[in-house]
Amino acid sequence: MIFKKINEWIRMWEASVINLLSAIAPWLAPLAPAYMTYQNCRGVFEFPEWLAVALAVLAEILGLASINTALTFWAHNRKYTLDKHKVPLWIPITAFVFYLMVIGTMNVVLEIWPGDRGVLILARALLLAMVIPAGVLIAVRAAHTEIIEGLRRPATQSTTQHEGEERRPARGKAQACLACGKRFNNQQGLAAHFKHLPAHRAPHFAAHEARVRVSSTGNGQSELAGEGAPDGGKHGER
């Protein structure tokens, strides 16, 4: 029993440690290329310390952001298949290719052809151009956020509208007494009015009979309308 509990504790501890390392390792992976970029910025280009650190960090952030954006866009396009809802996957992929070009030139090509003027110019140009993919990534991520909000907004508005319709009390068609002109919200109110004032039924009976005659003359059958007949279309007591 004791050994069983120890084994369970070891498995739980092992799983926790693996999960922790799995969360930390991806953030430590860019350390090597970042340090190599820092060394070449200091040794080859003789940049100030702060600039070398900034360029090394920014290059790795560009790489991580482009990979994350590409996978996010890929999952989005699989979920939303309509063309108007899709996002351009080629943009973050292009940004990642540019990152590979910067890292490859700074850390590999400069080692193969040290001091070559053409390679030095290319490396400087790539460092200066890092702002382009970085700005494009910011723009497409903002556009992706707007697309997601637009896809969620119609469902929220529709739900709110349906809730408002459910909360709104049902109302019948407004009715008016032809004798006194008093208006009622529905047929039941008009019928109650006739119970208190039976004499007010006469104009309604006359109007109802006139409609029946016109309808019968036109198509051979009477089409009784609920609003025209008093007491919901039923004759009251005579």
Query: Which residue stretches of the chain are H helix?
Result: 2-28, 31-43, 49-79, 90-104, 110-112, 117-128, 131-167, 187-196, 201-219, 230-233
Which among 202, 192, 185 has a CA at the least distance from the CA of 231?
192
CA distance 38 to 111: 14
Domain chopping of the chain, boundaries: 15-167, 175-233
pLDDT 10s digits, 105-133: 999 998 899 888 999 999 999 998 999 99
Are the CB atoms for 87 and 106 separated by under 8 Å?
no
DSSP letter, residue 199: G
pLDDT at residue 195, rounded to an integer: 74
232: nearest Cα among 181, 196, 192, 180: 192
Question: What pLDDT digit, counting tens, does each position of 44-91 carry?
Answer: 999 999 999 999 999 999 999 999 999 999 999 998 888 888 899 999
pLDDT of residue 48: 94
φ/ψ region of 231 (left if φ > 0, alpha if ψ in -120 to 50, else beta) reads: left
Token look-up 């090394």 returns 56
